[in-house]
Amino acid sequence: MKTRFSLTLAAAVAAVAIGAGTLATVAATHVSNAQIDDWQMQGSSTHAASPVWRLRLTAAFGNTAAREALADVLVSSAQLDERREGVELYRQLALDGAPGAQATLGRLLLRGLPGIAPDYAESRRWLAPAALREPVDAQAAYDLATLYRNGYGIARDNALAIHWLTRAAQAGLPLAQFQLANEYRFGTTLPHDDALALQWLTRAANAELPEANLALAIAYRNGELGMARNDDEYWAHVKESEHDLKHVSRQ
């Protein structure tokens, strides 16, 4: 009788465990993206145990958004082992084909993290698919341009650097637009072309890049890029660059 009772109790405990596991699975897989974003924000800003634990639990049940959020929190940790775990989690996500994770991993490996050295070869491996797909990941294309322009882990290649810089500019990255404008303006690696320089500089300025508005102000003051001198435009762009800087400082 005792043996039968023990078996019945064990079965009940197992059923409760299975039920709890089922509930946990359902709960983890039905977490909203808004909740995950909230845990990510809390985890990144405070690294409190609760939001990180919740992300870990949800990620463990295969929630891709939670896995990416957890990776983002971990790579910003003050603990080296957690930063390494975050990079490895991004690597797993990249291997699974997650587009955002591929671009982020490429960016992290390009710059490195405290205690984690850059890996330019692997960085290039993950940046390339992000920069090639549609819609283009503009930052990934810009990072590829940086690799080829500076010869990080590969021979310098100005043609490829300009190719990726142009792709980033066309995809709307203001810093890439500004740098491409300078390439046309100064004719270092591209033929000198004031019209194209002005076109890209204007696009970057319209996107509120402070450097671009300041460059336009100077061009109006000096009568450059095929434009007549214009004090009104000069002061207008000076003020716009100051506005842009305040906007950047608040971000």
**Domain positions in the chain:** 172-251
pTM, 2 dp? 0.84
Q: What is residue 237's predicted lDDT score, i.e. its pLDDT?
A: 95
Residue 42 CA to residue 158 CA, distance in Å, equals 42
Q: What is residue 212's predicted lDDT score, i.e. its pLDDT?
A: 96
115: helix, coil or strand?
coil
Question: How does pLDDT run across 93-143, given as a tens digit for each residue?
Answer: 999 999 999 999 999 999 999 999 999 999 999 999 999 999 999 999 999
What's the burial of 28, exposed, middle or buried (CB within 10 Å: 0-12/13-18/19+)?
middle
Q: Are 29 and 62 in contact (CB under 8 A)?
A: yes
Q: Hey, how many other C-beta atoms are within 10 angstroms of the C-beta on 224?
A: 16
Q: Are 131 and 137 in contact (CB under 8 A)?
A: yes
Q: What is residue 6's predicted lDDT score, i.e. its pLDDT?
A: 53
Long-range contacts formed by 84-87: CB under 8 A, 24+ apart: 84/115, 84/116, 87/113, 87/116
Class of CATH domain 172-251: mainly alpha
* Residue 95, CA atoms < 13 Å, CB-side half-sphere: 7
Q: What is residue 20's predicted lDDT score, i.e. its pLDDT?
A: 42
DSSP state at residue 197: H
Which stretches in the chain have pLDDT values below 50?
Answer: 7, 10-24, 26, 251
Q: What is residue 188's predicted lDDT score, i.e. its pLDDT?
A: 87
Q: What is residue 12's predicted lDDT score, i.e. its pLDDT?
A: 47
DSSP state at residue 84: H
Q: What is residue 244's predicted lDDT score, i.e. its pLDDT?
A: 84
Q: What is residue 14's predicted lDDT score, i.e. its pLDDT?
A: 42
